[in-house]
Amino acid sequence: MLMAAVLSAVVMGLYIYLAPRPEPPPQPAQDTLEETTAAPAEAGGQAEPEQRRATAAEEAGDTDVAAETEQTVVVENENYRVEFTNRGAVVTSWQLKQYNDSLGEPLDLVHADGARRYGMPFRLVRPGGDPIEGTDEALFAFNRGRNVRNAPESLTFEYAKPGLRVLKRFAFEASGHVVQVETQVVEADRPQRHLLSWGGGFGDTAQAGNSVHSQTYYYTDGDIEYVPADDAEDERITHSGPFPFVGIGDLFFTAAAIPEPGQDIRIETSAIEIVPAGAEPDDEQTYVAGAFGGATDNRFRLYVGPKSRSSLAEVGEVGNAFRGIVDYGFFAFIAEPLFIMLRWVHSNIVANWGWSIVIITVLINTILFPLKYKSTKSMRKMQQLQPLVKEINNRYKGVTMRDPRKAKQNEELQALYKKHNANPMGGCLPILLQMPFFFAFYKLLTVAIEMRQAEWLWVSDLSNPETLAIRVLPLAMVATQFWSQSLTPTPTADAMQARMMKFMPLVFGFIFYQFQAGLVLYWLTSNCVGIAQQLVLNRLPQEQLELDRKPQQRGKRKKRGK
């Protein structure tokens, strides 16, 4: 049973990392917009905004628009604090006020070193990733006001010189995490397709194993398709279409662009090497860099914030699909109700996520106790039948699978099981029914942002492994698993299988030693509840089978007579 559990976990893990990913759809060969010369009646609705922008550029003539010095401006509301520089009109810091980094400071989603190497967020690039000459160092003029402004607020950055005009506009709402974004680029009176890049690392890079979860994504055909950094190490990957949203994210945070319904949007993915926050200077890891947009007039809503289902619902009409960014996996139909229960316990019984995990685990194991009772009864029957099973197997020792006598052996075994109403799989099947709850809880505790930096007793962060030199929870889990194993009936007399079963708690301890503390706490609590239940079951009256071994004995005497 334990081997089955381990193998199931290994298979699921290998599938996640090794499953073939769909090839990116072919992209149009022409990335830049052809100059709009057709009349409105001929060009149709798609040409209208491009013609308006060209007209605006012509009316402006060769007037230069620029600032004289580099300046910074900050916009904030209750959820975020965003700092811009007018050099390139880019973001230098995007802090989330309600979430802290590993040092206890407000979490900055911008990786400072990576941004300096690869470009600040919302830098303009051409399709394919090349920079737009003259925009990175340009000193944009922007609407006057205080250096620190409270939302609702709109920032408009403009830059113009002969042959180049650029506009960036950001409209911040009074609450929430959604920002309205608009950008335009005109070169030589010709509107240009362009993208906004987040190229220097995104999210909480100090989170353990965060690089594994660094990926871009796009929503199509009812599913969210992810592009991890490893896929883009050799070449830049491009996807475009009428996607309801595209974005970049890590384990707990995301930045997503939501275009107007039916509007095409492009997302390009590349790989970068950065040093995670708090890591050694030589410990570079691979993260994704994303760029989205692709039109000559990019207009979309931008969500930058936590992967919290309540926060993700802010985006409105695509909210239900957008909430799927919190991916509960294959067993989402179990994980989502579990999380609702977990949140209710946290809100109404005990305001601690660790104790909430303990309470929900006790509740789950209590509900599943009838399955454990049936499993124990089945294992006891099989334990009592082992001498007869061994006798049958010994009589057919050395018989190969192709030997006709193998069928006779199976018939005798099935007759024995039928006579005593025993099922060899009876001890496994009820337990296997519990495995979806384990996998659902595993996924839930992995992706739920509520576990991030949640404390419990000596554990400082349930979403990370323990920080103690010797991790207590995994060792306690191994100890309780050995104890549980000693109390549970052994349905097999095979010495090799028995040795393997005794070895399995060590295998589990090795695997779980690197897991987040919240998941280990769940498994440890489940072990403790299982031990208590097994102690109760062992005190209940046990059914004793009436075993008749005379047929086998007569067979042996007849053989000796010969």
How many angstroms separate the CA atoms of 299 and 554, rounded?
Answer: 89
According to the model, what pLDDT value does residue 562 have? 43
DSSP 55-104: HHHHHHTT--B--SS--EEEEE-SSEEEEEETBTTEEEEEEEEEEE-TTS
3-state SS class at 196: strand
Model confidence at 489, pLDDT cuts 50, 70, 90, reads: low
* pLDDT at 262 (0 to 100): 85
Average pLDDT (304-333) is 84
370 class by beta-carbon count within 10 Å (0-12 exposed, 13-18 middle, 19+ buried): exposed
Arithmetic mean of pLDDT, 283-296: 93
Greater confidence (37 vs 278) lies with 278
CB atoms within 10 A of CB 537: 19
pTM score, whole prediction: 0.77
pLDDT at 367 over 80: yes
Question: Tens digits of per-residue pLDDT, 510-560?
Answer: 888 888 899 899 989 988 998 998 888 888 776 666 666 554 444 444 444
What is the tens place of the pLDDT at every residue in 181-201?
Answer: 999 999 999 999 999 999 999
Determine the residue type at 234. D
Task: Report whether pLDDT(163) > 60.
Answer: yes
d(CA 529, CA 95): 42
Integer CA distances (angstroms), 59 to 52, 163, 182, 240, in order: 11, 13, 20, 33
**Phi and psi based region of residue 20 (left: phi greater than 0; alpha: psi -120 to 50; beta: remaining):** beta
Residue 165: pLDDT over 80: yes
For residues 173 and 82, what is the distance between their CA atoms, to the nearest angstrom? 12
SS3 221: coil
In this structure, what is the dihedral angle of CA atoms 67, 196, 181, 187, given to the nearest 10 degrees?
Answer: 60
Chain centroid, CA 9 distance in Å: 16
Bond into 152 cis (ω within 30): yes
pLDDT interval class at 13 (50, 70, 90)? low
Of 13-17, 299-303, 470-474, which gets the smallest average pLDDT? Answer: 13-17
- Residue pLDDT, tens place only, 371-424: 777 777 777 777 777 778 777 778 777 777 777 777 887 887 788 777 777 766
- pLDDT value of position 496: 65
Listed in order, the ranges of the chain carrying CATH 2.70.98.90 are 64-324
Q: How confident is the model at residue 266 (pLDDT cuts 50, 70, 90)?
A: very high
- pLDDT above 90 covers a percentage of the chain that reads 45
Of the pLDDT bands very low, low, confident and very high (cuts 50, 70, 90), residue 428 is: low
The Cα angle at residue 392 between residues 395 and 376, in degrees rounded to 5: 155
Q: Is the peptide bond before 22 cis (omega within 30 degrees of 0)?
A: no
* Contact call for residues 466 and 472 (beta carbons, < 8 A): yes
**Which two three-digit tokens encode residue 114?**
């990576």
Q: Which amino acid is at 306?
A: P
Could you tell me the pLDDT band of residue 436, with boundaries at 50, 70 and 90?
confident
For residue 316, the tally of other CB atoms under 10 A from its CB is 10
What letter does residue 92 receive in the DSSP assignment?
A: E
Instruction: Identify the weakest region by mean pLDDT among 27-36, 334-343, 421-430.
Output: 27-36
Q: Are 307 and 255 in contact (CB under 8 A)?
A: no
pLDDT of residue 546: 65
CATH architecture under which domain 64-324 falls? Distorted Sandwich (2.70)
